[in-house]
Amino acid sequence: MDETGFSGEVRLRLGSSRFLAGMLIAGHLLGALCLPLLKWGVAWCWPAILAIGVSLVHGLRREAWRCAGVAVTWAHVDGRGRLLLTLRNGRKVEGRLLPGSFAAPVLVILRWRPENGGRVRHTAVAADGTAPASHRLLRVLLRHPL
């Protein structure tokens, strides 16, 4: 721990986020409104609208409302790029941060891969879904790793 009290790791409790919900709804609505521009037949538009709706509900439950069983509820990130995520169903997932994570004042997107291998994953951390001080420390840690 240095003179600022920062030990090089951040523990975040992730809650629901109105900002993320609004962004998901706006993005999916924009996608649905652009469907007529594709000049598809009516037979193709309805399945696309259904897919957009299913995607929206999935995104809201997993990222914005955090009520799905596989939604991340706690994140522990250290300065060496390791992270430990706790899911709503109680499962813990260890991973490594990858280059390409995004850090902005309203939103952080963690780009990571599980320790046991597998595909690259992303976890969104909105400023209104966690404590402001923790969100700020996470942004600092991503921009200036130890």
Q: pLDDT tens, 3-19?
A: 445 578 999 999 999 99
**Whole-structure pTM value:** 0.87
Number of domains forming the structure of the chain: 2
136 and 79 within one domain: yes
82 and 120 within one domain: yes
Q: Which residues pair with 102 in a beta bridge?
A: 109
87 and 46 within one domain: no
Range of the domain at 53: 18-64
Q: Write the secondary structure of the chain as one string of H (helix), E (strand) and C (coil).
A: CCCCCCCCEEEEECCCCHHHHHHHHHHHHHHHHHHHHHCCCHHHHHHHHHHHHHHHHHHHHHHHCCCCCCCEEEEEEECCCEEEEEECCCCEEEEEECCCCEECCCEEEEEEEECCCCCCEEEEEEHHHCCHHHHHHHHHHHHCCC
pLDDT, position 42: 79
pLDDT, position 2: 44
Is 1 inside a domain boundary? no
126 and 86 within one domain: yes
Positions in the chain short of pLDDT 50: 1-4
pLDDT, position 144: 86
pLDDT, position 36: 86
131 and 89 within one domain: yes
pLDDT, position 4: 45
Contact 109, 124 (CB under 8 A): yes
pLDDT, position 6: 57
